[in-house]
Amino acid sequence: MVPEYDLVVIGSDPAGQKCAIAAANARKSVAVIDRTVPPAWSDFPIGGKGGACRY
C-alpha cells in the first residue's frame, strides 16, 4: 500500500516548514522531504556522529 498525502513539501527551510505547519493545522496530511549531507568526521572537535535539529 502506497501512502497518500494531501501535500508533499520539498525542503524544510523556513518557508517549507511554515507551509507544512499551516497545512497540518488545516487538518491535511503532510509529508516533508529534505536532503541532508552528513558532515565530515573532521568537523567535530570531539568526534562522533552529528546532525542538526531542524525544528
Digit-coded pLDDT (tens) for 24-43: 999 999 999 988 766 565 55
Q: Work out the number of other CB atoms within 10 angstroms of the CB of residue 35.
A: 7
Question: Once rounded to an integer, what is the mean pLDDT over residues 14-31?
Answer: 92
Query: What per-residue confidence (pLDDT) applies to 47?
Result: 47
Beta-bridged to residue 10, according to DSSP, are 33
Residue 23 is inside which H or E element, if any? helix 14-25
Average pLDDT score over the chain: 77
Q: For residue 37, which of 27, 50, 47, 25 has the smallest C-alpha distance?
A: 50
